[in-house]
Copies of this chain bind each other. A is one copy, B any other.
Amino acid sequence: MTAPAQTSATVPQPAYSPLFAAEIARAKSGVEASIRAGVHVPVPKDPGGGVTHEQHKRNYRTIFEGGQLYRLTGDVRYRDHVRDLLLAYADLYPKLGPHPAAANQVPGRLFWQSLNDSVFLVNAAQGYGAIRDTLPAADRTRIDDNMIRPMARFLSDGSPEVINRIHNHATWAAAGVGLSGYLLGDRDLVDKALLGLDKSGKAGFLRQLDLLFSPDGYYAEGPYYQRYALQPFVVFAAAIAAHDPDRKIFEHRDGIVLKAVRTAIEVTHDGNFLPLNDAMPDKSLRTEELYHAVAIAYAATKDPAFLSIADWQGRSVLTPAGQVMASDLAAGKAKPWPFASRLLGDGPDGEQGALVLLRTKPDPRGPLLVAKNSVQGMGHGHFDRLGWLYYDETGAVVTDYGAARFLNVEAKRGGRYLPENDSWASATVAHNTLVVDEQSHFAGNWKTGEKYPTQQLATALDGPTRYSIAEIGTAYKDVRFRRALLLLDVPGLANPLTLDLLRASSGTKHRYDLPLHFSGHIIDNDIAFTRNLAERPVLGKANGYQHLWVDGEGTKAGKARLTWMQGSRFYSYHMLPPAGARFIVAESGANDPEFNLRREPALIQRLDGAADATFVSLLEPHGEYDASSEAVVASSARVTALEHRREGAADLILVTLVDGRRFAVAVADDVAAGIKHSVTVDGRALAWTGPVGRFDLAKTGAKK
């Protein structure tokens, strides 16, 4: 840090904004280390996380960053190192066959799955593009003909089973192939990338844009893969805009590329992607893909809300778009991102169901009720129709396990998806939705699930009574179920209540299980549990049940309650299941020979031998524990009673608070918007229009 580095810089260095200067410094540190280490282009051998895997990942990063650094600084050492790496790949690449560590995925040449090869090419093409014009023709020819073009050919003509799919792997391939085409002036590659191998438009990037995102910019596989998919979409779109401006790619399909970026930001809580479907739980907006997406989206829109996301990320990218964004952020142009409730239609037509996000505040850490009423989400989809999640200032409260995987950790099956991803993480019982006869939805067959949408029946995004009502009749052979999830602001309560009305109906009798997976430590409950204190059995044999330890089983007449604590807050879950239901406290982690599972609590409401069933549940966040002052307030619930009545063609739920206040929520069977409904409660007529009504009732005597 004391001797100034030798430099042959020829470009005068402008004054960079802090974020961009930090990017340059970070890239320099990486690229300089690579220069010191020399050119290491090993013969591919290891799976994810292994030595050759990591080296090739480092190399594409060096090629990308070294190229940008050369563009920015004119320092030929960067160009020469990038060139040397590319030449080494030009020597190696033609000799390679399928990767030796290939497993379930389509094998690449450099990596165990071709997906990583695509990512390599997207980065390498950009890095090479920044130095190509300055290279001698001989070097250019070697790199063009022995590396870039063969890689692009391998990922297009050589891998029709990848690039012709409608899938994020195909988007990465298309981006790699298309960027290579623009770079080499190879129209054939560009057209195959845009329109599919037969150039018919039935596959390729444009078709992917039409099919992979819903009209609201929601990506079928879910937030984790939406993030992952975004980078090739935005990077390739930016290249198309530059090279084929007449395509007006950013206006394509009503601006779908930018909608996808915005939606990626919306499907987060406190910056973390909602872990729907196969998803690593620790993934946030602080990720390479989103640095690029935010920079490109800001360049295309100049919407200052993107700057606040960049500010939270604390990162930019080395491209001109990143430079402008960092500079505008430094100039104080950022505005907060306007987080709000969203109804995100799923499927290419937006009619295959929906992901509903209900928020009460624009705060990224504020309350968030998620109703997962989307379609399957392809092979990474979980069997969780009509499931829900809840987040607030303490983090994830009602949870989804996400994926069973330790990404890139070699000891965990090479970092791939673990067996428990199928046997537990994607099973219905691992989710907060109805399980019938201990089977997963669609008998656990995702291809079946892919055929059947969820019906999003009604939604209210604003006001004190936000809600989502959805239904599905195809998840089980002869069971139809409908769920209304309502997020209720109640005067005098610091946190909103989540009211859950789930009705199942069938022509035959079934076992109905309604699990709740939550995060926190159990404080108390009013259920007469028989506990398995000294020997702990498992709940079942298959479909995820084999992974649940049973801590206890019990019953309670009328409303039952379980209270837990997370961080500084208490949560009471009030339940009014059908008569005869039992409660099971369980924990994940049984039948886990390799210690692959996290151990997390669950509560299951179980009803046996019923054709129809109505479960009414209410989640009440309350109180506060202050670790600093050790002060505790409101550790007991404010909700003291929960009643359910079937009145004509509506469900009526009555909630009583500790101060005696009462209110009613009515949910009509007829979900049409303009229909008028009326019921009578305690001699008073309650009338409302549309699916949901809400009414304050006369106070009862307050309990102490």
Residues of A bordering B, CB below 8 Å:
49, 54, 57, 280, 282-284, 286-288, 406-412, 415, 521-524, 531, 533-538, 546, 549, 551, 563, 565, 587, 590-595, 598-599, 625, 627-633, 635-636
Q: Using CB atoms, name the residue of chain B closest to A282.
A: B627
A388 CB to nearest chain B CB (Å): 24
| Docked CA distance A535–B538 (Å) | 7
Question: A284: which B residues are within 8 A, CB to CB?
Answer: 627-628
Question: A549: which B residues are within 8 A, CB to CB?
Answer: 536
Question: A625: which B residues are within 8 A, CB to CB?
Answer: 408-409
| Docked CA distance A282–B628 (Å) | 8
Contact of A521 among B287, B587, B598, B629 (CB under 8 A): B598
In contact, A628 and B598 (Cβ under 8 angstroms): no
> Most chain-B Cβ atoms within 10 A of its Cβ — which of A521, A625, A632, A636?
A632
Q: Using CB atoms, name the residue of chain B closest to A564.
A: B595
In contact, A283 and B627 (Cβ under 8 angstroms): yes
- Starting from the known contacts A408-B631, A409-B523, A524-B594, 7 additional A-B residue pairs (CB-CB under 8 Å) come to A287-B628, A408-B630, A409-B565, A409-B625, A531-B593, A535-B537, A535-B538
A635 and B590 contact, Cβ closer than 8 Å, known pairs A535-B535, A536-B535? no
| Docked CA distance A675–B411 (Å) | 46
Question: A595: which B residues are within 8 A, CB to CB?
Answer: 521-524, 551
Contact of A533 among B522, B524, B593, B629 (CB under 8 A): B593
6 A-B pairs within 8 Å (CB atoms) are namely A280-B630, A282-B627, A409-B565, A533-B591, A534-B538, A536-B536
In contact, B632 and A533 (Cβ under 8 angstroms): no
A524 and B411 contact, Cβ closer than 8 Å, known pairs A536-B535, A591-B534? yes
A357 CB to nearest chain B CB (Å): 23
| Docked CA distance A593–B587 (Å) | 15
> Most chain-B Cβ atoms within 10 A of its Cβ — which of A523, A538, A630, A631?
A630
| Docked CA distance A455–B286 (Å) | 50
Question: A406: which B residues are within 8 A, CB to CB?
Answer: 523, 565
| Docked CA distance A636–B282 (Å) | 21
In contact, B288 and A629 (Cβ under 8 angstroms): yes
A621 CB to nearest chain B CB (Å): 15
Q: Using CB atoms, name the residue of chain B closest to A632.
A: B408
Contact of A407 among B534, B535, B630 (CB under 8 A): B630
A628 and B286 contact, Cβ closer than 8 Å, known pairs A535-B537, A535-B538? yes
Question: A551: which B residues are within 8 A, CB to CB?
Answer: 595
Question: A534: which B residues are within 8 A, CB to CB?
Answer: 537-538, 546, 590-591
A186 CB to nearest chain B CB (Å): 31
| Docked CA distance A530–B54 (Å) | 34
Question: A522: which B residues are within 8 A, CB to CB?
Answer: 595
Q: Using CB atoms, name the residue of chain B closest to A626.
A: B408
Contact of A412 among B287, B524, B598 (CB under 8 A): B524
Question: A593: which B residues are within 8 A, CB to CB?
Answer: 531, 533
Question: A531: which B residues are within 8 A, CB to CB?
Answer: 593
| Docked CA distance A269–B563 (Å) | 31
In contact, B411 and A563 (Cβ under 8 angstroms): yes
- Shortest 4 CB-CB distances between A and B: which pairs? A522-B595, A408-B632, A411-B524, A536-B536
Question: A523: which B residues are within 8 A, CB to CB?
Answer: 406, 409, 411-412, 595
| Docked CA distance A618–B592 (Å) | 27
Question: A533: which B residues are within 8 A, CB to CB?
Answer: 590-593
Question: A408: which B residues are within 8 A, CB to CB?
Answer: 625, 630-632, 635
| Docked CA distance A625–B415 (Å) | 12
| Docked CA distance A411–B283 (Å) | 35
Question: A407: which B residues are within 8 A, CB to CB?
Answer: 630, 632
Question: A288: which B residues are within 8 A, CB to CB?
Answer: 628-629
Question: A536: which B residues are within 8 A, CB to CB?
Answer: 535-536, 549, 590
Q: Using CB atoms, name the residue of chain B closest to A290.
A: B628
Question: A280: which B residues are within 8 A, CB to CB?
Answer: 627, 630
A57 CB to nearest chain B CB (Å): 7
| Docked CA distance A598–B537 (Å) | 19
Question: A598: which B residues are within 8 A, CB to CB?
Answer: 521
In contact, B535 and A635 (Cβ under 8 angstroms): no
Contact of A631 among B57, B538, B630 (CB under 8 A): B57
In contact, B538 and A632 (Cβ under 8 angstroms): no
| Docked CA distance A409–B598 (Å) | 27
In contact, A632 and B412 (Cβ under 8 angstroms): no
Q: Using CB atoms, name the residue of chain B closest to A597.
A: B521
Question: A590: which B residues are within 8 A, CB to CB?
Answer: 533-534, 536
Contact of A636 among B287, B411, B630 (CB under 8 A): B411
| Docked CA distance A592–B587 (Å) | 14
A633 and B54 contact, Cβ closer than 8 Å, known pairs A533-B591, A535-B535, A565-B406? yes
| Docked CA distance A29–B537 (Å) | 53
| Docked CA distance A632–B538 (Å) | 34
| Docked CA distance A537–B537 (Å) | 9
In contact, A54 and B631 (Cβ under 8 angstroms): yes
| Docked CA distance A590–B282 (Å) | 29
A635 and B286 contact, Cβ closer than 8 Å, known pairs A534-B546, A534-B591? no
A96 CB to nearest chain B CB (Å): 21
| Docked CA distance A406–B587 (Å) | 21
Q: Using CB atoms, name the residue of chain B closest to A285.
A: B628
A413 CB to nearest chain B CB (Å): 10
| Docked CA distance A415–B565 (Å) | 14
Q: Using CB atoms, name the residue of chain B closest to A281.
A: B627
Question: A415: which B residues are within 8 A, CB to CB?
Answer: 632
In contact, B49 and A635 (Cβ under 8 angstroms): yes
Question: A546: which B residues are within 8 A, CB to CB?
Answer: 534
Question: A627: which B residues are within 8 A, CB to CB?
Answer: 280, 282-284
| Docked CA distance A139–B593 (Å) | 73
Question: A282: which B residues are within 8 A, CB to CB?
Answer: 627
A537 CB to nearest chain B CB (Å): 6
> Most chain-B Cβ atoms within 10 A of its Cβ — which of A280, A415, A534, A565?
A534
A231 CB to nearest chain B CB (Å): 13
Question: A629: which B residues are within 8 A, CB to CB?
Answer: 287-288
